Structure 1
Amino acid sequence: MINPGLSRYEVVLDNKYFLRDLVESITLEESLDEIAYRATVRLVVTPDFPGITPGQEIRVSGIPFGGTEMVYLLHPGVVWEVESESHGQKHITVTIYDKTIYLAKSEDEYILPAGQTASQRIERYAADWNIPLGNIADTGIPLVRAVYRAQSIYSMMMADLKETATKGGGLYRPRMTPYGLELVQLGSNETVWVLESGQNVESLVQRRTLEGTVTAVKVLGTAKKARTEIDTSGMTLEEIGRLYGSEEDREDLPSPVLAIEYGENDKYGTLQKVIQDSKIETVAQAIEAARKALTGMQETLTVTAIDINTIRAGDKVSLDGWELLVTSVKHDLGSPGHMTLELASEDYVRRRYYYD
C-alpha cells in the first residue's frame, strides 16, 4: 500500500477496479457556494494500472469516525479531470465530483406557475432530467410564478430555495446520495459532532469584520407596483399623468419606497442595502425582507481538528457549546486525518447564502 494511513478508505473505478493500493492521498471538499462534493485523489501509476479518463464512474468509501463498517463518502461520482506527471515514477491526480455537478453545468429554461413549493419544483427538474430522487424535504412555502431563461438547473433550484428562505421558510440544500438527489434542511443532521478547544480542536481562528454589515435597508417597489403603492401627494399633475401612462413615461419617476428599516447604524455607521425584488408583493413582505437583511458585525470561525470524515457542508456542529453551521469543509483523509471547517451562525448563513 502506498499510504498505510489510508487503509480505512477505498477508491473504486467503474465499479470493478479497486485502487486502494495505488492511493497516495485523498481530500474531500464541499462548500455552500457550490452544489457538488469534490474529491481530489493522487495515485501512483503501476504497470497494471487500468487507465482512467474523464466521464468514468468512480466512488470514494471509508470507515466513518467511530465506526467499523465502510460506507460511501462520495457516491455516485464522476471522473471530471485527470492530470498526470512524471518524475521517474508516473503519478496521476484525479478530480472527482458527485453527480450534482451536471446540475451546475447543464442549462435549460422553465416557466413555472405560482403556488408551487421549492420541493415540487425540484421534483419537476429531476423528472425532466431523469435524475433519481431520494428523500425530498417539504419546504412548505408557495412561490410566485417564475420565468427562468437559459441558466443552470442549479441556479434555478437556488432561486427557489432563496425565495423560500426570504419568505420565512427554512434553509435547504440539494445533496446527491447513493439513493438519489435529496433535499436536506441545513442543520438537520441526526448526529451533531462536538468540537472542543484543547480536546479534538487543533486550532481556532475567529474573524470579525464590518465587510458585509448592513445597518439600513430600503425596499423599492417595481414599476408595476408604482401605480398602486406610490404616495402621489407630493407629485404634480404632470408626474401623476406619467405614473399612470406608459412604461416609457414612468421611466423617469423614482421607484416607490415600500419600506425602510434601520439596525445598528448608531454603532457601526450607515451601510445601506437597497432591495428591489418583483417577488416582494406587499408592504408587509417588504418590511419583513428589510428586517431580515439587516446585519451586524460579521463573524466566522475557522477550525482545524482531527478528522470526522462524515461532516458535510450544511451540517450542524457544536463548538465549545455553541451550535454553528458548516459553510465549508475540507477533509484530508488518513489515520488520523485532519479537517478544516468554516463555521457560522444560522443567521449569518441565511444572509450570506440565501439573501441576494
Structure 2
Amino acid sequence: MKVIYDNYDITDLVRSVEWSGDLQQVARTLTVTLINTANGISPLLAFKNGKIIRFFDDKELFRGFLFKIDKNQAGEVTLTCYDANVYLLKNADTMKFVKKKASEIIKHICSTFKIPIGPIADTGYVIPKHIFREKTLAEMSFTALTTTRKHNGRRFFISNNLGKFTLAEMKVPNAKLIIESGRNLLSLSVSESIEETKTRVKVIGGTDKKPVTVTVQNDSLARQYGVMQHVERADEKLNKAQLQKLASQLLKDMGKVATDMTLESLGINEITAGSVIQVYNKMTGINGTYYVNSDTHHYENGVHTMSLNISSSPNLAEVAYEEA
C-alpha cells in the first residue's frame, strides 16, 4: 500500500485507507487517516485542499483531489478525496440537446468543463430532445442514460480511470471473481423483495387532445403478486410501435423480484461498483452471478477487507427526464 500526496510519499504516516464507490454516484472516494506529527507538538506536513492524491496497492487504484481536511490537537488527520468526476457534481448549467445520443451529450458536457475523457461507449439510442435548466452535469448525464435505458434496455455506468472520465456498458460476462463460504466470505445478509416490482406498465404518448396509450402486462407475475401498475408519459413524437417497445422494455426492467445483499469478505482490488461477481453460500441459498452496486475497501495494518452491496440487477441511478 502506498499513498502519495502532491508528490510526497506519506505512506509511513498512514494508519488506514478507505476506497469506495457507488453506482448512484459519479465519483469514487478515498479517505486517508494518518498521524501528522513526530513530536506531538507540531505538524509534519501542511495539507492543502485541491492537491492531487494517489493511492496504490500493487498498482495505482485512485487518482483524485483533496476536498476536505479534518485534524485535531493530537495530530490526527483525515483526508477526504474524490476523483475528477466530482466536477460533474460541482458544476451546473443550462443546456439543450436535440437528436443526440447520451454518449454525445456526456462528451459535450465533459469537453465544455474540461473534464479529461477516457473511453466512452456508444450508447446507441438517439434522444429526440433534452432541455436541462440549472441542472448539475451529473443530473444531465444520469438523465440521458436513464432515457437510453428505457428505450433500448442497455445499461451504462460512469467511472474514472487514472483521472479520466469513462463510460462503459454493463454486461454480464462469465464472472471470474468469486466470493464463497470457507474461502473469502466473512458475512452475508440477503433480502428478497417485491416492493418495487411492477406487473403492468401503461405508457401514454401523443397529445392531451389525442393521447395514444399502450398497456402491457406480465400475466404470470400478476397472478402471483397481483396487479401493480407503472404509468409513464412518453415523448409525443413516438408512434404506437415505439410506445409498445418502450412499455415492453419498462416491464422487463420492472417485472422482477429484487434480490439485495450485503456482504463482507477479504479484499479484492478488482471488485468495485459495476463489477460482476459470483457468490456462493449454502445457508442463504445464494449461488450465482450478481452485480456490485457499491463497494468500500478498507486497508489497515496490512489487512485488506471489503464491504459490498450486490443485487441480481444493477442499482443504477435513475433520473427521469422532465420537460423544462
Aligned length: 305
- Percentage identity across paired residues of the two chains: 25
Identify the range of structure 1 (327-336 vs 102-111) with the bigger mean alpha-carbon deviation.
Answer: 327-336
Deviation string for 1:126-178 (max 9, x for gaps)?
A: 22112222111122222211111110111111111112211124211222212
> Shift in Å at residue 107 of structure 1?
0.2
Q: After the TM superposition, which parts of structure 1 deviate over 4 Å for at least 4 consecutive aligned residues?
A: 187-191
Q: Is the 8 A contact 1:186 1:325 kept in 2?
A: no
Corresponding residue for 2:82? 97
C-alpha change, 1:19 and 1:187, in structure 2 (3 Å) is farther
> Shift in Å at residue 10 of structure 1?
1.4
Question: Hey, which of these two has a bigger chunk of strand by percent?
Answer: 2
Of 2, 6, 12, the residue aligned with 2:4 is 12
C-alpha change, 1:147 and 1:288, in structure 2 (3 Å) is same
Residue 32, structure 1, aligned to residue 23, structure 2: yes
Residue 58, structure 1, aligned to residue 53, structure 2: yes
Q: Is the 8 A contact 2:185 2:265 kept in 1?
A: yes
2:197 partner SS? coil
Of 268, 278, 281, the residue aligned with 2:235 is 278
The residue identity in structure 1 corresponding to 2:166 is E
Of 142, 159, 164, the residue aligned with 1:175 is 159
1:308 partner SS? coil
Q: How does 1:1-356 map to 2 (within 5 A)?
A: 9-14=1-6, 16-46=7-37, 47=42, 49-63=44-58, 71-75=59-63, 77-86=64-73, 89-114=74-99, 116-178=100-162, 180-187=164-171, 192-221=176-205, 225-228=207-210, 230=211, 257-263=213-219, 264-278=221-235, 281-291=238-248, 292-293=250-251, 294-320=254-280, 322-334=288-300, 335-345=302-312, 348-349=313-314, 353-354=317-318, 356=320
Q: Is the 8 A contact 1:317 1:324 kept in 2?
A: yes
C-alpha change, 1:280 and 1:169, in structure 2 (3 Å) is farther
Q: Matches of 2:173 and 2:71 in 1, distance apart? A: 38
Q: Matches of 1:108 and 1:195 in 2, distance apart? A: 43
Q: Which runs of 5+ in 2 are unaligned?
A: 281-286
Q: Is the 8 A contact 1:219 1:274 kept in 2?
A: yes
> Shift in Å at residue 31 of structure 1?
0.7
Find the structure with the greater CA-based Rg: 1
1:144 partner SS? strand
The residue identity in structure 1 corresponding to 2:150 is T
1:314 partner SS? coil
Deviation string for 1:249-291 (max 9, x for gaps)?
A: xxxxxxx533243451222223222211327723333333333
Q: Which runs of 5+ in 1 are unaligned?
A: 1-8, 64-70, 231-255
